[in-house]
Structure 1
Amino acid sequence: MNAPIQEVNTSMNEVNLHMVDVQGASDTRLIAINRAGIKGIRHPVTIADKGSGIQHTVATFNMYVNLPHHLKGVHMSRFVEVLNGYDRAISAEGFESLLRIMITRLEAESGGIEMSFPYFMTKAAPVSRIKSLLDYEVSFVGRIENGSYQFTMKAVVPVTSLCPCSKQVSDYGAHNQRSHMSVSVRTSGLVWIAELIRMAEDQASCELYGLLKRSDEKHVTEKAYDNPKFVEDVVRDTAAVLNRDARIEAYVVESENFESIHNHSAYAMIERDKLES
């Protein structure tokens, strides 16, 4: 018969009292470490979602803290304990609470959490209105330095781009391609994931859908043809939208077009810190 849980926990605590804490020992080299922690741990999470309230997904975490020069190591197990003990929905607005719990648990002065996860949106096809899911790669990055918190959210948004030059010089047709727009923002107010995705999709030649019927395929093909954009146009148009949004303090906008007539990609990037401009 198994021992009661209370007796097992008591026995484990007694064992721990008699074990040497090597990681907590002093280090004679006296060299501080900027980041020490764990990388690549996957954990189920609940994401706060503007449309449905919550969304369940699996995230990959990198978690780290600073290590003073006089300590040998950090207690790696505590990072996992923080994840296992956090039962609230994670949002851009509430990401700071998870980070501060980690800093306190690790008894550190500074630290950071990088969290990447697939985010799904239900989209209705433009003509048939049939609904399907489309996935996006989203990242939350938070860091605390000397008590000051900074947060960045990033979304990789797949879209369609159509070449204006190809349309201009061709007697019929124009080459187009699937593109990845990457939008990373530092915010001073709440920006929902879906909002950031929409900012990017609206600047493409056409957005993507998970499921299209023939009437929808005709629509998106013609929409892209009527809305040709170079990779430079895409990033400039997106930057203009972010410039007008008072919640956005800084941003990096990138677009990579996976060319259909070349064996290389076309690329453009704009970076701006609005507080320094």
Structure 2
Amino acid sequence: MRNCATEVLEDVQGRVDPRAIPIQQVGIRAVRHPLQIVDRGAAVQPSVALCNMYVSLPAHLKGTHMSRFMEILNNQEAPISVEGFRGIVEQMCTRLEADSARLEMRLPFFVQKAAPVSGVKSMLDYEVELIGEITPKGYQLTLGVMVPVTSLCPCSKSISEYGAHNQRAHVWVHVRSQDTIWIRDIIDLIEAEASCELYGLLKRPDEKHVTEYAYDHPKFVEDMVRDVALRLQEDPCVRWFSVSSENFESIHNHSAYAMIEMEK
């Protein structure tokens, strides 16, 4: 009987591939992995990310080492941040001996908020995307944040004798910047431009406040993306951005949508 513990097994992935065709992205998708994330103010919170990890493969190699992607994730003990994301992508290039690498993470992010009148505290969840990519041209990070907000229709307010229809909207902002922009920075920017921000828990005085506040700040879906875009245009750190809003209409069985993309 052979001793498998000491036997040297062939590295099949390292074989030369006769087809000589390079692969731009090869790796693993839809990996759900626990982690810790840290943002502005150094507050660390646990989360679970859905990860996609890719590297380039040169034309002469048959395959990449898939297990090394999971090793990189499993060895990630320090909390993940916008600033430190590059280090993980660099590990992918080094461990998999690749010229290019791309890491995509999507995860929930929680913020404790105080209700506007009663001050009662509760958690609200947001969606965050971190996309880091290394190519021969260098490193690029795209930070995406989805913020749920209230949108109140200006037309409904204008033509109705009383009341106006309002709905929940999902606003996505993706940015590439030359300096650190935190997740909370984007959340604050979007919520400031909404008809009203959302809260996890409201008492009756809070409900009165948010209802009246939204009525005083009506916005079409077009208004929302334009106002956020103006704020991002004014930020000297932002090199590129996209902003989109989907309003889940309360008087229609369809959504209203708008999107702006801009490179500065």
Normalised-by-shorter TM-score class: over 0.9
* Equivalent position SS for 1:44: strand
| 4+ runs deviating over 2 angstroms | 11-15
Instruction: For residue 60 of structure 1, report the CA deviation from its aligned partner.
Output: 1.1
Structure 1 residues 61 and 13: alpha-carbon distance in aligned structure 2, compared to 1, 3 A threshold = farther
Q: Distance in 2 between matches of 1:89 and 1:246?
A: 28
Name the SS for the 1:23 alignment partner. helix
- Asked if 1:226 corresponds to 2:226, the answer is no
Pairing partner for 1:28 from 18, 21, 35: 18
Aligned equivalent of 1:104, options 83, 90, 94: 94
Residue correspondences, number: 262
Q: Tell whether the 8 Å contact from 2:25 to 2:55 is kept in structure 1 after alignment.
A: yes
Does the aligned pair in 1 maintain the 2:246–2:258 contact within 8 Å? yes
Deviation at 1:228, TM superposition (A): 0.3
2:241 is matched with 251
Q: What is the aligned-residue identity percentage? A: 57
**Stretches of structure 1 lacking an aligned partner (at least 5 in a row):** 1-10
1:56 aligns to 2:46 (yes or no): yes
By how many angstroms is 1:200 displaced?
0.7
Instruction: Give the Cα–Cα distance (whole angstroms) in 1 for the partners of residues 152 and 4 of structure 2.
Output: 64
1:3-46 CA deviation, whole Å, 9 max, x = no partner?
xxxxxxxx87634xx21111111111111111000001111111
Displacement after TM superposition at 1:248 (Å): 1.0
Counterparts of 2:36 and 2:15, CA distance in 1:
37
**Does structure 2 conserve the Cα–Cα contact (< 8 Å) formed by 1:109 and 1:147?**
no
Indicate the residue corresponding to 2:6 in structure 1: 14
Over the residues paired in the alignment, what is the CA RMSD in angstroms? 1.2
- Per-residue CA shift, 1:117-143, capped at 9, x if unaligned? 000000000000000000001000010
Question: Hey, what does 1:186 align to over in structure 2?
Answer: 176
Alpha-carbon distance, 1:87 to partner: 1.4
CA distance in structure 1 between the partners assigned to 2:179 and 2:238 by the alignment: 8
1:239 to 207, 229, 236: 229
Give 1:38-57 correspondences, 5 Å limit.
Answer: 38-51=28-41, 53-57=43-47
* Structure 2: gaps spanning 5 or more residues: none
CA distance in 2, matches of 1:201, 1:28: 55
Deviation at 1:147, TM superposition (A): 5.4
Letter in 1 for 2:248: F
> Does 2:167 correspond to 1:177?
yes
Find the counterpart in structure 1 of residue 257 from structure 2. Answer: 267
